[in-house]
Structure 1
Amino acid sequence: MKQAVIFAGASVQPEQQPPVPAADLYVCADAGVKLAQALGVVPDWIVGDFDSLGSVPEGENVEPFSPMKDDTDILLAAKYALSKGCRRLVFYGALGGRLDHTVANLQMLRFLADHGAQGVLVDHAHWVTLQRGGTAVYPRRDGMYFSLFAMTEQCEDVTLEGVAYPLCHGKFSNAFPLGVSNEILAENAVVTVGRGDLLVVYARD
């Protein structure tokens, strides 16, 4: 599976970010070019309206857009990665900034699932993805809580194994945070979802 790493412009401390994985494609969204540079990554493509960066970078790998657009800059970067055949997209600088952009980035995970791809949002204290039905295995990460939230109205027939608060064929609702602050006790947690989109969040204090 082709992987892309996308850098966005949330204000984060570069030295605190997890190591950048090897990828087939590195893309910067607007001010994400600063984060990529700080992390020692040379981007293959730079896209955005560059209102956050303050100027349009030079180079043949730069694609500027008007600020009058429907897509966020990070979504433009994600669409570019999809167009290049990437089906796993890892995002840096997509958490911890403005709340409205964070919510938009969480919604983007559903957009990616609709296009047959997995998105992962990471920073020094979080690892976030979306599980659309089926069974997935999640490793224990020391010092991190393991929380699950319904992104659809309901997630049905949910079974959780290997966690402090297991569940057997239960139901999650987007109107009640049943799955917050669980913990993985076994080597791995096994999460099965019969129907629905489940937001999977690792978080540390």
Structure 2
Amino acid sequence: MTKKPERTGKRIDMPEETERGRFAEEPETAGSNDRIEKKMSRTGYVFCGGDISDVLLPLVLQHISRGKGDSARKPYVIAADRGLVWLDGHGVEPDLVVGDFDSSPSGFIDDYRSRHPNAEIRTYNPEKDFTDSEIGVRAAVDAGCGRVVMIGATGSRLDHVLGNLQVLAYLLETGVRGEIVDPCNRITLHGGARGGRLSIRKKEQWGKYVSLFAFGGDVEGLTLTGFHYNVKNFRLSSVGSRAVSNEIDACEGTISFRKGKLLVIESRDTPAGRL
């Protein structure tokens, strides 16, 4: 978690230490060709310091376990600060641990190191430019993940929730599919200068409701089909709540737009029982 606003002086966003047992080296960033190849298969899961529901976490862990049998698609699990507390409580050792650990219980990280001497842990100065969640997401991108799912990215700290929405924008600009998932919501960001197109199958949607928000400016040429409220070539303003709580009436809802960034929130009133 970031304690102080971004400073105009020297950036402090490099780890103070990186551990993989006794001899530690900073892993190389995947080259562009390697990254394109890996984007087709690998998913990164970043466990953040927000609310991680006891309903959702076992489902996520089951989903991760199913992918471990295929080495090419093996999930890359990252714990960001207090996210490690949740994983450790369920007996899960992540591939990478990052953070300044100011939100973890006192003495927890030292105890974890003693129990997992070979764990890769990158410790950061609390006075840094990025939140622990964003550091974890950037590590997943550097590892070649083509999809990054953030768990524990929502909760009582609205400043961190908004910051994590901005992290979705970073993933979009990087060309990596990003998702924020909690028991009642799945949040994705789409589009750019050339707009975008996506479909949501009713039987696979996260919840009953689909809400749309223009992100960072108006969305132009928005067309919805298969929804309860359909529009054609509509300009969705970044001011107001015009597109909140729509529903899919057909088997599939299709969203297309010509220009802009569109934040899509699939939501439900009760916690999800599946992924």
Partner of 1:31: 82
Partner Cα separation in structure 1 for residue 196 and residue 55 of structure 2: 36
1:179 aligns with one of 229, 243, 260: 243
Helix, strand or coil for the counterpart of 1:100? helix
Partner Cα separation in structure 2 for residue 194 and residue 33 of structure 1: 41
Structure holding more strand per residue: 1
Aligned residues: 205
Partner Cα separation in structure 2 for residue 116 and residue 16 of structure 1: 27
CA contact (8 A) 2:180 2:188 kept: yes
How far 1:32 moved relative to its partner? 0.4
How far 1:17 moved relative to its partner? 4.2
Partner of 1:147: 211
CA contact (8 A) 2:55 2:183 kept: no
- How big is each residue's C-alpha offset from its partner over 1:143-201, in whole Å with a ceiling of 9 and x where there is no partner? 52100000021111111111110111111111122110101111221110211110000
CA contact (8 A) 2:43 2:146 kept: yes
Helix, strand or coil for the counterpart of 2:155? coil
Q: Structure 2 unaligned segments of length 5 or more: list them.
A: 1-39, 65-73, 270-275
CA contact (8 A) 2:185 2:207 kept: no
- How big is each residue's C-alpha offset from its partner over 1:65-107, in whole Å with a ceiling of 9 and x where there is no partner? 0000010000000010010111210111011231100000111
What do you get for the CA RMSD once the two structures are aligned? Answer: 1.7
How far 1:12 moved relative to its partner? 3.3
1:49-128 map, 5 Å: 49-54=100-105, 55=107, 56=109, 57-58=112-113, 59=117, 60-128=119-187
Partner Cα separation in structure 2 for residue 142 and residue 4 of structure 1: 19
Partner of 1:11: 51
Partner Cα separation in structure 1 for residue 252 and residue 142 of structure 2: 33
TM-score under structure 1 length normalisation: 0.93
Helix, strand or coil for the counterpart of 1:69? coil
Helix, strand or coil for the counterpart of 2:161? helix
Change in 2 beyond 3 A, CA 1:152/1:53: same
Helix, strand or coil for the counterpart of 2:165? helix
TM-score under structure 2 length normalisation: 0.70
Q: Which amino acid aligns with 2:196?
A: G
Change in 2 beyond 3 A, CA 1:185/1:17: farther
Percent of aligned positions that are identical: 35
Helix, strand or coil for the counterpart of 1:166? coil
Larger radius of gyration: 2
